[in-house]
Amino acid sequence: MDYKTIVITGASSGIGAALARALAAPGRTLTLLGRSAERLGAVAAACRARGAACRIESVDQTDADALSRVLDEIGREAPVDLLIASAGILDGRSADDPVESRMAARRVLETNLLATVDLVHGLLPTMRRNRHGSIVLVASLASLVPLPDAPAYSASKAGLLSYGLALRDAVAADGVRVVVACPGFVATAMAGRHLGPRPGEISAEEAAQRILTGLQRNRAMIGFPLVPFWLSRLSLLVPEKIRRRGLKNTRFHVGE
């Protein structure tokens, strides 16, 4: 992959941090976005140790004005070759409630979906003018199998998947590549809020490698682990009673 200038959101931990470390190499410049300057600094140090130039931007992605300023600064320095939108939050019902709160639902939708759309539009025009660039949107297997314990999270990831697949077709003729990653359970700090079984869980490092392999092969959807991915794709075709029975093994609630 010939990416020289890379922007990664959600880079302070989890999949975003693992992707940053995997992509760090001499001749590459990484801009890492996240909310925790301290954790971003630690990831940046690891990337620099691998020979990459690295800058960090502590920004709340839902602050559209702040995000726009950061993207404008990046664009003035060099055109972005690769955008990885990995920022996202998990929220759902607490142990005593059947569904997440209204405020939690809005926060999830704004962070996971709307802010990501803002991010893409901040960099897409330059990619189209240059007829070069790749965009990775990190969704979830929940985009294929709606989770009854996290309706807003499921909706945000389903929206991201649909947006990414539509965008892929919309800009393919402009030389811009768009892929959507749909990971299953990944061992991250965010997943620590998920109080319940996490079958097939893999490390963030393994998830990063699978995403980068899928990007290299230009797969529209990068789903993993393989068996849960295909079961998820088929799940909405089976009768509701059977689907509900299968979801019993994944019921959860969120902790603090």
Selecting among 7, 28, 140, 153, the annotated active-site residue is: 153
Q: Is the peptide bond before 26 cis (omega within 30 degrees of 0)?
A: no
Angle at 79 between CA 222 and CA 82, to 5 degrees: 10
Residues listed for the chain? 256
| Maximum Cα interatomic distance, the chain, rounded to a whole number of Å | 55
d(CA 24, CA 49): 9
Cβ atoms of residues 110 and 62 within 8 Å? yes
Structure tokens at 160: 């991201």
Q: Is 153 a catalytic residue?
A: yes
Both structure tokens of 51: 């020979």
How far is CA 82 from each of CA 41, 170, 228, rounded to the nearest angstrom? 21, 18, 28
Label the pairing between strands 194-195 and 253-254: antiparallel
Question: Do β-strands 5-9 and 29-34 pair in parallel, antiparallel, or remain unpaired?
Answer: parallel
Smallest CA-to-CA distance from 178 within 165, 162, 192, 161 is with: 165
Helices (H), the chain: 14-23, 37-49, 64-77, 102-109, 115-130, 151-171, 204-216, 226-235, 240-247
Task: Please identify every residue annotated as catalytic.
Answer: 153
